[in-house]
Structure 1
């Protein structure tokens, strides 16, 4: 990924420490990052900014990440954004529900940021 054409990345998580860590990591890897601490703010940020990807916690206040993903998919942006769920929900049915909600990927916390980075960079190669 080229830093002169930074990919827009929306990150939403209600844990302020994790959110700060995400911002430091992904900004250092050339992403233009915006954040939200709840689902409603994440959806508003998405609709105002139309990022290439969104990293969303599933269990957030005001609107959960799956509801945000479903609403983002209704926007029908082209190309469609990459949606990544990062959650504490680890059961197979949790993963399947995330994918049915519109997420491209479902990762269980704690997940290496390098793994998430690989998925986000992989999107740019297609």
Structure 2
């Protein structure tokens, strides 16, 4: 593979895919609707506990360059996590204090999962 494709296959492209998936899900469910509110609040758990470990799974793909991968995962985990989480919570029908609390809780879980994933990645792949 050439050098450009090594940089394109990475966590940034993965989080753009996650963002487009959330936008597609919002359009398919015609949100904001009341019946989907519990799902959108639960994305505060789904995004950190599922999508961040999928991002750390890039260490197992042979075409991804590893020297700066951990820093790239941290940056895109925080920035991408913010955008995906805020987009998913914007589909909640009642924008009250519960949605803000879910966002803060989701970002906190993102930091915790990033720390745990970083420890695992440093131990396993160094």
User: Could you say which TM-score interval applies, normalised by the shorter chain?
Assistant: 0.3 to 0.5
Query: What TM-score, normalized by structure 2, do the two folds share?
Result: 0.32
Higher helix share: 2
Larger relative contact order (Cα-Cα within 8 Å, sequence gap ≥ 6): 2
Query: What TM-score, normalized by structure 1, do the two folds share?
Result: 0.32
Higher strand share: 1
| Structure with bigger gyration radius | 2
